[in-house]
Amino acid sequence: MHVIDGHCHIRGNKAMACEVLRASGISGFVNINYACDGLLRTLDTDQTALADRSGLAPSVETALVVGFPAVEYFRWSDAQQDVFLTHLDVGLRTPGVAGIKLWKDIGMLALDLDQKYVLPDDRRLDRVLGIVAAHRKLVYVHSADPVDAWRPTCSRPPDVADYLSRHPAFDMYLKLGVPSHDRLIEARDCLVGRWPQVRFVICHLGDFACGLVGTSRFLDRHRNAAVDTAGRLAALHKELPARARDFFIAHAQQVIFGTDWTPCETDEHAIAKGVARYQKWRSYFEDVLALPTATLQNIYAGTLARFRGAENAMPEVS
């Protein structure tokens, strides 16, 4: 079966990644750029590294999603923003570029010159969205983290507590003036609703705002949006299998398979870990949920191909 990992971050050792993909029956992947610091020089370097196909077999399909430097963008002068937008326009014309990603720093980190948090529905993003819309590219959106990041430390599940201990910048509980989780989800929904001509991919199952029920309602309201599954296997295992199965069957044409795989090339067990990761994902969909073949075909590759559009879709490799 044709399977594309629609959300991962593969840097460096592409040959190792290729071996994992081959052993796991994965045909290709969408490589996403973080754009962490917002510097155009660094963004160029990172984007070039992500787009590099050296070490990959010719049969492995790849696409690139470029990051948006939100932390810096809203502090730049008009002239600096113009430079970035020109840069973005050129980048989106590049073959193999699937779109742009608005990361969770919008709403959780990015401040404007007035020291106010910038939200996903900020009208200052209109110029960015306009360029993406003109090129008929995708907009990946990671808005907020699981709601536990806003809750007291003592009430957090172990995986969230571990993540926030290593990434304290995203611990929202004691921060002053931060938007609530509900406000970020509301702003995300407003953004998607305001741009019906743009195709959005909401990362990480929308961070389970109101669980799969809330995600289902979101997808019903916004036919121009899909969700990817990246990084949410543990959360899915907490759902009743019957409920999860119903969700994926009902929304198969708006779900994109993604894992959030970020391999560690220095780890001698990287290949085995990567293969095991994909085995867990596929076992969940194929064994635990026993999803129908047509549903799997959509989730694994069909939805991504449709959302990218026939002119931009990665061709299936036989």
Is the model more confident about 107 or about 313? Answer: 107
Taking 70 as the threshold, does the pLDDT of residue 95 lie above it?
A: yes
Rounded to the nearest integer, the mean pLDDT of the chain is 90
Q: What DSSP string runs through 192-205? A: HHH-TTSEEEEGGG
Q: What pLDDT is attached to residue 318?
A: 32
Q: What pTM, to 2 d.p., does this model score?
A: 0.93
What single-letter amino acid sits at 280?
K
Q: What are φ and ψ of residue 30, in 5° steps?
A: -105, 120
CA-CA distance, 103 to 316, in Å (whole number)? 29
Q: Is the pLDDT of residue 38 over 60?
A: no
| pLDDT band of 20, cuts 50, 70, 90 | very high
- Measured CA to CA, the distance from residue 128 to residue 111 in angstroms comes to 17
Each residue's pLDDT tens digit, 48-80: 777 788 888 888 999 999 989 898 899 999 999
Mean pLDDT, to the nearest integer, of 275-301?
Answer: 97
Residue whose pair of structure tokens reads 């045909």 in the numeric block: 27
The residues, any chain, with a CB within 8 Å of residue 231's CB and separated by 6 or more, are: 204, 259, 260
| Domain boundaries defined on the chain | 4-308
pLDDT tens-digit profile of 205-239? Answer: 998 777 899 999 999 999 999 999 999 999 899 99
At the topology level, CATH places domain 4-308 in: TIM Barrel (3.20.20)
pLDDT digits (tens, 9 = 90+) for 123-180: 999 999 999 999 999 999 999 998 999 999 999 988 889 999 999 999 999 888 999 9
